[in-house]
Chains A and B, each alone.
Chain A
Amino acid sequence: MNETEEQLRDEEPVELPTGAKRHENGNMRGSAPAHGRDIVARSSAEVIGTSVIERTDADDSLEPEQELMTVNLGPHHPATHGVLRLLVSLQGETVIDLKPIMGYVHTGIEKNCEDKSYWKAIPFVERMDYLSYFFNMQAFCGCVEKMLELEIPPRAKYLRVIHMELNRLHSHLVWLGTSALDLGAMSMFFYCFRDRDRILDLFEMSSGQRMHTRYFQVGGVFEDIPVGFEQKVKAFCAEFPTRVDQFEALLTNNEIFLQRTKGVGIVERERLKALGVTGPLLRAAGEPWDLRKVDPYLAYGDFDFDIPIGTVGDGWDRFRCRIQEMRESVRIIEQAIDGLPEGPVLADDRKIVLPPRHELGTSMEALIHHFKLVTEGFRVPPGECYYPIESPRGELGCFILADGSAKPARVHFRDPSFVNLQSLRDMCVGEYIADMIQNLAMLDPVLGGIDR
C-alpha cells in the first residue's frame, strides 16, 4: 500500500496532447491509504490545480489519442440554477465524468443559529432553501415544538398547511419557469412568474412580505389571516387549474419538449434510494414515498389528496409529477380553506409564546413573560430531535441539539437538494451535455439549500 502511495506522489503527470494531465497508474478511487491524514494531504495537493477529475474504470481503457476535454460550467452560468460549478469531462459531446463543486453561496446559517435564540433563528433558517421558505420554517418550528412537546391549535395547523401548499405551488412555478427557460421555451418563464406574483400577493396579504415572511412561530402562526384572505385564496384556487392546463398545453405534447425529456436521465429506483434521493425525483421513478401521506404531520391527515407516481423516472416523468403535484396542492388548499377551524392561532403556553398585546397593559405576569421572551427567549430542555417534512424537493429534515439554554447548541438541516445532487452524476454520465442541462433542470436544485 505504501509503495503505491509513494508512486502516486512521485510520479510526474503525463502531458497529453490536449493539455489534460493524467497520472499513469493512479486511480484515486481504488487505493485507500491506511492513515486518515494521508488522504487529506494527498487529496488537497493533487486535486487542486489538476484538470483531470476522478477516473472511473472507463478511463483506464482510453487511448491517449482520444481527447478528453474538461469543461467548467459556472459558477456564473445562466443555466445552472444558482451558483453551482460543474466540472464536466467530455469526449466529444458525451459526458464521461461530472463533478459538482458547491459552496459558492455558503452562508454559515447553521453556525449563525447557534448564536441566536430560537425565536430569532427563524429568519435565518428561512433563507436556506430560498424558494420554499415556509417549509424551512416548518421544519425548524416543528422540531422545536416536538422538543418542547407543544401542541399547536388546529387553526394554526390549517393555516400552516395552506401557506405551505401555496409555497409548494410557488416553488414548482419557479422551477417550471426556469426549467422551460433552460430548454428554450422562454414564454413559460413569463407565464409562470405572472402566476407566481399572484401567490406572492396572497403571502403579502397574510404576512406583509412577499418572500421570507417569518410567518410561522414556535407555537403556531404569527398572526391571523386578514379579512378577505379566504375569498382571495378561493378565487385563486378556482382559477389556477386552468393555468396549469395552459402550461400543459404549451409543453406536454410539444414535440421538442418530448424529444428532450423522454428517456433522458433515467436512474433506477434502487440506485436513487441508495443515493438518498427523495421527493419528486423518487416518485417519478415509481416509489410511492411522500412524507405527507406515509407519516402525516400537521393536518395532512385530514385532507384527501393523491400522490402522483411516475413509471420510468426520466425527465418527462419528473415534469409530469410536478405538474400533477401542483394540481394536488390546489386540492389541499381548497379543502383546508373550506374547513378552516375557528380558534386561536398561537398556543397558550406563555412561557414559549408571546402573550397577546392587549394583556400587556393589565397583567403583570404577561409583561414579565413578554420581557423574558423578547430579551432572552424561551428555554428548551436538553435533548436532540430530528424532524423531517416533505418539501417541494424532497425530505427536509431539521436536527436540533438543545442544551437547556435559550439558544440551540446545534442546528443542522438535511437539505433535499444537497443529497439529490449526488444523483446528477448517475443521470448524466454517458449522455450528451445538452441532456445534462435538462437533467439539472429536472433535478430542481436550489443552491441556497445545498450550500446553506
Chain B
Amino acid sequence: MKVEREKIRANLPLDEPDANKSLLVRQMRARDLLRGDIDSADLEKHVEEAVLATRLDKVLNWGRANAIFPATFGLACCAIEMMSVVSPRYDIARFGAEAMRASPRQADMLILSGRVSIKMAPVVRRLYDQMLEPKWVVSMGACSSSGGMFSNYAVVQGADKFLPVDIHVPGCPPRPEALLYGFNKLQRMIMGNPEIGWRTRYSAHGTEEWARDLGKVTDDARDAYAAARDIAEAAGPPASGQPGGPADVPGPPQERVDVPERSKVEEGRFI
C-alpha cells in the first residue's frame, strides 16, 4: 500500500508565487545594501517593500503567540495540574503565559481544565462570549475534550458541543509537560505554522465519524448528519426517565463500506 505524504513545508512559508525569485532579488538587494551600493531612491523602495503587510501580520502573530494571557478556568482535577504548570518546575512563564487573568475580558486563551457539567456549561459559554477577539480555547484533559470517563447524565460529552476548541490535550489529568506541548502547538498555530494534522500526514481523510461514503464528504452525508441533529433537537429535552438523543436518532449506517482504493478529500473540505 502506497503511503503518500504531504510535503512538510519549510518553516518560512513564502506565499509569493515565485518565491525563489523574489528571495534571490531580496538577497541581492541586501548585499548591495550592506555594501552601500544602493542609492536613496532604491533604498527607500527597499525599506518600503521590506515592511510589507505580511511582515506586520507575522510580527503581530508572533506577539500574540508569545504573550498569551490564559484565563484560568479551573474546574476539577486538571486545574491542579494547570496550577503546577505555573509552578517553578514546569514553568509556563518561559513561554510568556504566566499572567493568568481571572477576568475573561483581559484574557486571550481559555484553558478548560476539568469536566464540564451541564450546570456549568452555560457559564462557560458566557465566559467565552465575554472574551475579546482574538481568543483561543485549549481543552485540557479527557473530560473537556470528550466527556472523559464520565459518559453519564451530568457531564457534557466534550466542550466541542458548545464551544469551538482549538487544541485538545489528552490525559487524565495530562501531565504538565503534555499541557505545555499543547500550548506550544497552539503557539505555532497562532504564528501561522499550523501542524498539518495526523489526517493529512497519514492521508486518513474519510475516517471521520460521519463520512461513510468512499471517504469523501458528500453533500448527502452532511445533510443526513444535519437532519439527524434536527430530529434530536426537535425531540426536546429528555422527559423524566427517558434518554434523549442518541437512542432516537438514526445512527450512521452500520454496514461496512467497501473502499476499493484510498481516496483523498479535496483540500480543506473537512470539518
Do chains A and B interact in one complex? yes
Residue numbers of A with Cβ under 8 A of B are 75-78, 82-83, 103-109, 111-112, 123-124, 127, 130-131, 174, 177-178, 189-190, 193-194, 196-197, 200, 210-212, 447-448, 451
Among B75, B81, B102, B154, the residue within 8 A (CB) of A83 is: B75
Instruction: Report yes or no: A211 in contact with B81, Cβ–Cβ below 8 A.
Output: yes
State the Cβ distance, B209 to closest chain A Cβ, in Å.
Answer: 24
Q: Is A105 touching B117 in the complex (CB atoms < 8 A)?
A: yes
B154 and A211 form a contact (CB under 8 A): no
Q: Are B155 and A104 in contact (CB under 8 A)?
A: no
State which residues 100-124 of B face A: CB under 8 Å: 102, 104, 114-115, 117, 119-120, 123
Q: Which residues of A contact B77 (CB under 8 A)?
A: 127, 130, 211-212, 448
A106 and B175 contact, CB distance less than 8 A: no
Contact (A106, B150) CB under 8 Å given A82-B79, A83-B75:
no
Q: Which of B52-60, B84-92, B132-140 contacts A (4 or more CB under 8 A)?
A: B84-92
Chain B 190-231 against A: per-residue CB contact (8 Å), 1 yes, 0 no?
000000000000000000000000000000000000000000
B152: which A residues are within 8 A, CB to CB?
107-108, 111-112
When distances are taken between beta carbons in the complex, the residues of chain B under 8 Å from A190 are 87-88
Q: Across chains A and B, which 5 residue pairs bring their CB atoms closest together, nearest first?
A: A193-B87, A108-B154, A130-B77, A78-B102, A108-B152
Closest chain B residue to A197 by CB distance? Answer: B89
Give the CA-CA distance A211 to B83 in the complex, in Å: 13
Q: Are B75 and A105 in contact (CB under 8 A)?
A: yes
Can you list 24 pairs linking A and B with CB atoms under 8 Å apart? A76-B104, A78-B72, A78-B102, A82-B79, A83-B75, A83-B120, A104-B75, A104-B117, A106-B117, A107-B76, A107-B154, A107-B155, A108-B155, A109-B150, A111-B153, A174-B80, A177-B83, A193-B84, A194-B88, A194-B89, A196-B84, A196-B87, A211-B77, A211-B81
Q: Which residues of chain B have C-beta atoms less than 8 A from A193's C-beta?
A: 83-84, 86-89
Whether B150 contacts A108 by the Cβ 8 Å rule is: yes
Contact of B87 among A112, A194, A451 (CB under 8 A): A194
Q: With contacts A103-B117, A130-B76 known, what are 4 further pairs, Cβ within 8 A?
A: A82-B75, A107-B76, A197-B89, A211-B80
Report chain B residues within 8 Å CB of A448: 76-77
**Cα distance A131–B79 when bound, in Å?**
11
Chain A residues whose C-beta falls within 8 Å of the C-beta of B175 in the assembled complex: 210
Smallest Cβ distance from B141 to chain A, in angstroms? 11
Query: Is B173 in contact with chain A by the CB < 8 A criterion?
Result: yes
Nearest A residue to B155 by beta-carbon distance? A107
Give the residue name and chain of the A residue nearest to B130 (CB).
Answer: A76
Q: When chains A and B are docked, how far (Å) is the Cα of A254 from the Cα of B175?
A: 35
Of the candidates B74, B87, B115, which one forms a contact with A107 in the assembled complex, judged by CB atoms under 8 Å apart? B115
Contacts of B155 in A (CB 8 A): 107-108
Size range of the chain B interface in the assembly: 20 to 34
A123 to B197, CA, bound (A): 31
The reply on B127 being an interface residue by CB < 8 A is yes
Chain A residues whose C-beta falls within 8 Å of the C-beta of B119 in the assembled complex: 103-104, 106
List residues of B (37-94) whose CB comes within 8 Å of A's CBs: 72-77, 79-81, 83-84, 86-89
A185 to chain B, nearest CB (A): 15
User: Are the C-beta atoms of A76 and B73 separated by less than 8 Å?
Assistant: yes
B172 contacts chain A at the CB level, 8 A cutoff? yes
Q: Is the CB of A76 within 8 A of B123?
A: yes
With beta carbons under 8 angstroms apart, the residue of B73, B76, B84 that contacts A197 is B84
Task: Write out the residue numbers on chain A whose beta carbons fall within 8 Å of the beta carbon of B30.
Answer: none
A212 pairs with B173, CB closer than 8 A: yes
Bitwise, B151-181 to A at CB < 8 A (1) or not (0) is: 1111100000000000000001101000000
Does B14 count as interface, using CB distance less than 8 angstroms? Answer: no
> Which residue of the partner chain A has the closest CB to B71?
A76
B117 is contacted by which of A76, A107, A124, A130 (Cβ under 8 Å)? Answer: A107
In the complex, what's the smallest C-beta–C-beta distance from B6 to chain A, in angstroms?
36
Q: Which of these, A77, A78, A131, contacts B80 with CB under 8 Å?
A: A131
**What residue in chain B is nearest A82 (Cβ atoms)?**
B74
B84 touches A105 (CB 8 A): no
Provide the bound-state CA to CA distance between A70 and B115, in Å: 29
B residues near A108, Cβ cutoff 8 Å: 150, 152-155
Q: What 0/1 readout, one digit per residue, does chain B (244-260) give for beta carbons within 8 Å of chain A? A: 00000000000000000
Cα separation A106 to B89 with both chains bound (whole Å)? 31
Query: How far apart are the CA atoms of A54 and B145 in the complex, in Å?
Result: 39
Q: In the complex, A178 Cα to B84 Cα: how many Å?
A: 12
Contacts of B81 in A (CB 8 A): 210-211
Taking CB atoms, residues of chain B closer than 8 Å to A177 are 83
Task: Quote the shortest CB–CB distance from A359 to chain B (angstroms).
Answer: 30
When distances are taken between beta carbons in the complex, the residues of chain A under 8 Å from B153 are 108, 111
Shortest Cβ distance from residue A183 to the other chain B in the assembled complex, whole angstroms: 16
Asked if A77 and B102 make an inter-chain contact with CB atoms under 8 angstroms apart, the answer reads yes
Specify which chain A residues have a CB less than 8 angstroms from the CB of B33 in the assembled complex.
Answer: none
In the complex, the chain B residue whose C-beta lies closest to that of A120 is: B149
* Chain B residues near A197 (CB-CB < 8 A): 84, 87, 89
User: Would you give the shortest CB distance from B28 to chain A, in whole angstroms?
Assistant: 52
- Point out the residues of chain A lying under 8 angstroms from B102, CB to CB: 76-78
Do residues B172 and A212 form an inter-chain contact, with CB atoms below 8 A? yes
Chain B residue nearest in CB terms to A174: B80
A180 to B187, CA, bound (A): 32
How far is A194 from B73 in the complex, measured between Cα atoms in Å? 22
Q: How far is the CA of A103 from the CA of B121 in the complex (A)?
A: 12
Give the nearest-CB partner of B120 in chain A: A104
Question: In the complex the two chains form, what is the Cα distance from A366 to B155 in whole Å?
Answer: 39
Distance in angstroms from A86 CB to nearest chain B CB is 14
A263, chain B: closest CB distance, angstroms? 29
CA distance A109 to B80 in the complex (A): 19
Nearest CB in chain A to that of B172: its residue:
A212
Interface centre among B73, B74, B86, B102 (most CB of A within 10 A): B74
Q: Tell me whether A105 and B120 are in contact (CB under 8 A).
A: yes
Q: How far is the CA of A77 from the CA of B88 in the complex (A)?
A: 23
Residues of B within 8 A of A77 (CB): 102
- Min CB distance B145 to A, Å, is 15
Q: Give chain A residues whose Cβ lies under 8 Å from the Cβ of B74.
A: 82
Distance (Å) between the CB of B268 and the closest chain A CB? Answer: 36
Whether A104 touches B173, Cβ cut-off 8 Å, given contacts A82-B74, A448-B77, A451-B117, is: no
Which residue of A75, A83, A112 contacts B150 across the interface (Cβ within 8 Å)? A112
